[in-house]
Structure 1
């Protein structure tokens, strides 16, 4: 049965309508909370799509911006600056990577990873250029990253497509092996597919991918734009399996709300020459100063432990709600979780929660995604769960009444 959904009109015609936005204008935020122009509070379990890892308007971000803005904002990409160097050193020191290139978005970081892999293939693999990616994956909205993605409905968008991306089913190691050919230069994937509904990659699958990449002399690229920076309970998600990629991309949480992303590589694959890669604002000190403050906060004693504890609390509560209403699977890692909603339309639950003052996300027709701030409090999780429980009950009652009405009319 189809539930009638609110048809969002565009109340601000000067803003290009590239998203379905409710008629709500947010004017301030703090921690897990947002307030709209009518001063109504909203508990935010979307956080800019996993961007605000420290919540809204964290003091350390505001202080880093103010301090750096008073010193140096943008000397240009042709020069070193102190925060850029410090942030690169810190990420290298706490990861398996040797070099960093900072960008403004995760899509731009992934575009850089694709370019680097193709340059490496041209130099060391007889011109190999094809990259194996996964069905239902998501890597961004540039032309190249859209081609790398396996998002439904994008197959014909912005044709003609850029060649060189081979899609295989997720979790199918045999399909990956069968797809490797003489033109294969890399395997690229998210460690948790976020847009497809939060589907983690099993650890044995990741180990098998590393083995295949080594056997065939191809690169392994992990897209950690959403999973990196503490989101899954470790600084980087690859740490759960111990499988080290050759290239990793970061974004979202790296800037804690400001536009900052990164391309991290091992020195063995470093083949860009001056002029091969760049960007006017890339690695500017204003943004990298914030990134440095964010990484320091994530590495503070007890912070990542808190993420894991709160993740278990949220997962347990969602599992109870799912069992109570006969919904579906709860999955994910840390504070990147999803719950399948069974027969309940996820978009309708999003509407119910919005009216109740809670923001959640529906990446699929029958899936909800939860991406709260990493410093979310236990009582905030409990409040969201209580309101979600009420929304499920209300929607179940509404659907049952509509079924009775439809039966009486038939």
Structure 2
């Protein structure tokens, strides 16, 4: 049998920006005691491929899963393991390490480490560095799905998020214990991209972007409502892309099942009237407003105080009244932002989108054909046509994440060349 060698060359997908934004950055990688620690070895290499300098700090439990020698060989630096190590203190103690770091990334971050960090403990080298550093602190949680879902863990995670600590992941997948569920650590390439995203100044640096997303719910009585099939995926992807591009990003979201993207502030609303109020409040001083929510056009005139009982008759009559038009109201503001609307159409796509552009005085309309299979509501993919005064531009089908990045790039250029962005 001839011997066949398979050579796999790893690349970070589509991220020249990632490479640039991690170049020469000091990344302090914390490794805690989870089975995912075996991936930390590859993570060191990927971070270095992106041009970063890496110092590794391991907890005692981490050393049960992977040896310091492995990470030392990969990082080219001595691995730090002890808080009160006389040799390490002479070289690089916890205060020096805390000052050295541009970013502290803990991957994997176990439930125990998250709990200790939430309590503000400094009972080992890694927690002490986390307490002492002024650098952004990011965690890549990795644990059994039961531990991740546990109330204590979720409470600790919320404490950390409130302190501005970012979590990358976890994601769903098969776990070492055989379970399937949330708790699996993101892959090294994904963590490199996420870390790079923190350093991207981007095309919208210093701009305030407000995005509406998801459906609205219009109450009929305390238990029933009128709504639609919007998943919010497109709006959330746009918010993530705007944050990546350096914008101060606000996401005004109807009820969805989606987690809020990193570096995005989410304002939760339920009804169209709530969304209208939040949108006008936030749009007053924003640079770019993107109305991607599927807002209910009508709401019941009266909301019953009590649950409507099933009557004797065959039918019930609801009187619906028109909801306020959010995007048109934003476009009419005296200090108006660059205003972008969405048009979901089933026919005459460009013609209807252009009518909407003119009627509502918008700067741009993003139109998608809801009759096309595999795109639009609830799908992970989308294809759109951009319609503005200059003409039309078609962006063919791709993932909503990729599409969002492309849209943000186009919108940033149009915003920069438009006459009414804030000076």
* TM class by smaller structure: under 0.3
Structure with the higher helix share, 1 or 2 = 1
- Calculate the TM-score normalised by the size of structure 2: 0.26
Instruction: Name whichever structure is richer in strand by fraction.
Output: 2
What's the TM-score, normalizing by structure 1? 0.26
Report 1 or 2 for greater relative contact order, CA contacts < 8 Å, sequence distance ≥ 6.
1
